[in-house]
């Protein structure tokens, strides 16, 4: 048996599989499919302070090997999520990460505080890719100084470990990662969706009312892998790789490139049992390649430079 445990510094996970925020609902939706305790952890759907209706439809568009979404972080708000997590934790012990959103810094802090006080939330992932109301829709992650500032303010106030979730839609992601680390992030997760767009040729208009939407799915895997590789080389804190991961092979590639754990996204929506299959594939591949532990694989990629 391969040792699948992953060390994130602030915690040890039984395995590297963490379904990503927005692709695993509030956990409860997957209870009919499998026991959530098989997972390393899971990230609940991103949450703002107040309940949100989300964007008008259409909210998704399929691309070659990918999915564009403009859901608009619909959800029950922080207190609604607290109630959902209370119910979930009666049925499962899966480590739970709350994806904290905010329209401005104050909202991030308020939401983070609520879940710092919520025993059902184990760790916080700060979604710094939310459009900021004071910056014309630009997100915190697109400004490394702001990323530092926000992470620092959250870290000063919050006792639970915090993970900074980075956006790939930046000129230099290494700079943002370093500033998040300097600000006190305990880990970094990357990447959120890539901005893209879809066109309705017949009606000569954009498919999405917001024009741009977030691209996810197998199509983004090589792009995400490159960014995870770069960030893992420059920060000291653990990196959680995200982007199109759909198989055991994908997981091991991200770990080889420096990720300590991974988040699976779109595949959970297409194949609700994906986590079971992926874990099985990891067992098979590690056995074939005589990999004894994921820790020995982590960051062990060979390259000329």
Please report whether residue 74 would count as binding another protein according to CB under 8 A: yes
Please report whether residue 218 would count as binding another protein according to CB under 8 A: yes
Which of residues 53 and 203 has its CB atom nearest to another protein in the complex?
53
Which of residues 53 and 304 has its CB atom nearest to another protein in the complex?
53
Please report whether residue 270 would count as binding another protein according to CB under 8 A: yes
Q: Can you tell me the distance from the alpha carbon of 94 to that of 91, in angstroms, rounded to the nearest whole number?
A: 9
Q: Can you tell me the distance from the alpha carbon of 144 to that of 149, in angstroms, rounded to the nearest whole number?
A: 9
Which of residues 59 and 298 has its CB atom nearest to another protein in the complex?
59
Please report whether residue 223 would count as binding another protein according to CB under 8 A: no
Which of residues 29 and 106 has its CB atom nearest to another protein in the complex?
29
Q: Which of 99, 192, 264, 266 forms a contact with another protein (CB under 8 A)?
A: 266
Query: CB of 231: closest distance to another protein in angstroms?
Result: 26
274 token code pair: 């994906």
Q: Is 130 noted as a catalytic residue in this protein?
A: yes
β-strands 17-19, 199-200: how paired? unpaired
Q: Can you tell me the distance from the alpha carbon of 195 to that of 129, in angstroms, rounded to the nearest whole number?
A: 11
Query: CB of 64: closest distance to another protein in angstroms?
Result: 6
Q: Can you tell me the distance from the alpha carbon of 203 to that of 197, in angstroms, rounded to the nearest whole number?
A: 15
β-strands 239-242, 261-264: how paired? parallel
CB atoms within 10 A of CB 157: 11
Please report whether residue 29 would count as binding another protein according to CB under 8 A: yes
With contacts defined by CB under 8 A, how many residues of the chain interact with another protein? Answer: 34
Please report whether residue 35 would count as binding another protein according to CB under 8 A: no
The contacts of residue 117 (CB under 8 Å, 6+ apart) are none
Which of residues 44 and 124 has its CB atom nearest to another protein in the complex?
44
Please report whether residue 64 would count as binding another protein according to CB under 8 A: yes
- Residues 245-264 close enough to bind another protein by CB under 8 A: 246
Q: Can you tell me the distance from the alpha carbon of 289 to that of 296, in angstroms, rounded to the nearest whole number?
A: 12
What burial class does residue 93 get, using C-beta atoms within 10 Å of its C-beta: 0-12 exposed, 13-18 middle, 19+ buried? exposed
Contact between 280 and 251 under an 8 Å Cβ cutoff? The reply is: no
Tell me the torsion sign for CA atoms 34, 255, 227, 153.
Answer: positive
Please report whether residue 58 would count as binding another protein according to CB under 8 A: yes
DSSP reduced 3-state for 24? coil
The DSSP bridge partners found for residue 137 are: none
Query: CB of 244: closest distance to another protein in angstroms?
Result: 9
Diameter of the chain measured on Cα atoms: 56
Please report whether residue 225 would count as binding another protein according to CB under 8 A: no
Q: Which of 81, 269, 291, 294 forms a contact with another protein (CB under 8 A)?
A: 269
Kindly name the residue from 6, 101, 130, 139 that is annotated as catalytic: 130
The DSSP bridge partners found for residue 100 are: 47, 126
Q: Which of 4, 13, 59, 245 forms a contact with another protein (CB under 8 A)?
A: 59
Q: Which residues are catalytic?
A: 130
Q: Which residues bind another protein (CB under 8 A)?
A: 22-25, 29-30, 32-33, 53-54, 56-60, 62-67, 69, 71, 74, 217-218, 246, 266, 268-273
């Amino acid at each position: 048996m391969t040792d699948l445990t992953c060390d994130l510094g602030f915690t040890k996970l039984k395995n590297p599989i963490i379904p990503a925020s927005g692709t695993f609902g509030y956990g409860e939706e997957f209870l009919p499919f499998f026991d959530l305790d098989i997972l390393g952890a899971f990230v609940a759907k991103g949450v703002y302070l107040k309940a949100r209706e989300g964007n008008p439809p259409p909210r998704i568009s399929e691309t070659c090997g990918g999915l564009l979404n403009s859901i608009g972080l619909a959800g029950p708000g922080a207190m609604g999520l607290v109630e959902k997590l209370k119910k979930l934790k009666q049925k499962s012990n899966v480590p739970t990460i709350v994806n904290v959103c905010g329209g401005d810094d104050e909202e991030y802090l308020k939401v983070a505080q609520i879940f710092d006080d919520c025993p059902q939330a184990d760790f916080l992932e700060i979604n710094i890719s939310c459009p900021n109301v004071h910056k014309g829709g630009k997100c915190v992650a697109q400004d490394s100084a702001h990323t530092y500032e926000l992470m620092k303010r959250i870290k000063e106030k919050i006792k639970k470990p915090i993970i900074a979730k980075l956006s790939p839609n930046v000129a230099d992601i290494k700079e943002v990662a370093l500033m998040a680390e300097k600000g006190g992030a305990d880990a970094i997760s990357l990447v959120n969706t890539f901005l893209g767009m879809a066109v309705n040729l017949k009606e000569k208009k954009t498919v999405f009312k917001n024009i741009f939407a977030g691209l996810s799915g197998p199509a983004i895997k090589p792009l995400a892998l490159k960014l995870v590789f770069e960030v893992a080389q420059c920060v000291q804190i653990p990196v959680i790789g995200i982007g199109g991961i759909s198989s055991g092979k994908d997981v091991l590639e991200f770990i080889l490139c420096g990720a300590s754990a991974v988040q699976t996204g779109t595949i959970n929506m297409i194949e609700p049992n994906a986590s079971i299959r992926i874990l099985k594939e990891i067992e098979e591949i590690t056995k074939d390649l005589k990999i004894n532990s994921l820790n020995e694989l982590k960051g062990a990629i060979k390259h000329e430079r």
